[in-house]
Structure 1
Amino acid sequence: MSTAEPWTIGRLLNWTTEYLESKGSEEARLEAQLMLGHALSCPKIQLYARFEEVVDEEKRAKFRELVKQRAAGKPVAYVLGTSEFYSMEFMVTPDVLIPRPETEHLVIETLDLLKGRSADQSVSILDIGTGSGIIAVTIAKQLKHTSLLATDISDKALAVAKLNAEKHGVSERLEFAVGDLFQAVPSGSRFDVIVSNPPYIAQSERPLMDAHVIEHEPHVALFAEEEGTAVLKRILEEAAGYLKPDGWLLLEFSPMVAKRVAEMAEATGFYEKVSIGKDLAKLDRYLIAKKAA
Structure 2
Amino acid sequence: MAVLRTVIQDTHRKLEAAGIPDARLEAEVFVMNVMRMARQAIFSEQEAEVSEQQQASLDSMLERRFSREPLAYILGQREFYGINVMVTPDVLIPRPETEGLVEHALFMALMGMETTELTIADVGTGSGAIAINLAIHLPAAKIFAVDVADEVLDVASFNIRAHGVSDRVSLAIGDLLEAVPEAVDLIVANLPYIPSGRIPTLQPEVRMEPALALDGGDDGLDLVRRLLSQAKDKLKEHGIILLELDPEQVPVVQALALKHFPEGATGVEQDLAGMDRILAIHRQAPE
Same fold (TM over 0.5): yes
Normalization by structure 2: what TM-score? 0.94
1:267 aligns with 2:266: no
Distance 1:42 1:141, change over 3 A: farther
The counterpart of 1:213, out of the listed 202, 206, 216, is 206
State the distance in 2 between where 1:50 and 1:240 align: 59
2:185 maps to 1:192: yes
Partners of 1:181 and 1:117 lie apart in 2 by: 25
Output the CA distance in 2 between the equivalents of 1:69 and 1:199. 26
Unaligned runs of 5+ in 2: none
CA distance in 1, matches of 2:41, 2:187: 40
Identity of matched residues, % = 36
SS at match of 1:172: coil
Does the 8 Å contact 1:265/1:271 carry over to 2? no
1:270 Cα deviation after fit: 5.1
Note closer, same or farther for the CA distance 1:191–1:62 as it changes in structure 2 (3 Å cut). same
Does residue 235 (structure 1) correspond to residue 230 (structure 2)? The answer is no
Amino acid paired to 2:61:
L
Contact 2:124–2:176 at 8 Å: present in 1 too?
yes
SS in 2 for 1:171: coil
> Could you state the TM-score of these two structures normalised by the residue count of structure 1?
0.92
| Correspondence for 1:284 | 276
Q: CA deviation at 1:62?
A: 1.2
Q: Provide the residue aligned with 2:154 in structure 1.
A: 159
User: Counterparts in 2 of 1:65-214, with a 5 A limit?
Assistant: 65-116=60-111, 121-186=116-181, 189-214=182-207
Given candidates 11, 14, 25, the residue that maps to 1:16 is: 11
CA distance in 1, matches of 2:36, 2:56: 14
- Kept after mapping to 2: 8 A contact 1:36/1:44: no
For 1:30, the equivalent position in structure 2 comes to 25
1:49 to 29, 37, 44: 44
Offset of residue 125 of structure 1: 0.8
Distance change >3 Å, CA 38–CA 278, structure 1 → 2: same
Query: Displaced runs of 4+ in structure 1, greater than 3 A?
Result: none
One-letter code aligned to 1:234: R
**Contact 1:271–1:289 under 8 Å retained in 2:** no
Q: 1:255 aligns with which of 237, 247, 254?
A: 247
Instruction: Report which stretch shifted further, 240-249 or 96-105.
Output: 240-249
Q: Which moved more, 1:272-281 or 1:43-52?
A: 43-52
CA contact (8 A) 2:110 2:116 kept: no
Q: Deviations over 1:150-209 (max 9, x none)?
A: 0001111110011111111111111001111122122xx111111000011001212431
Task: Report Cα offsets for 1:37-79 as digits up to 9, x if no partner.
Answer: 2112233343212222111111121111111111121111111
Paired AA for residue 58 in structure 1: Q
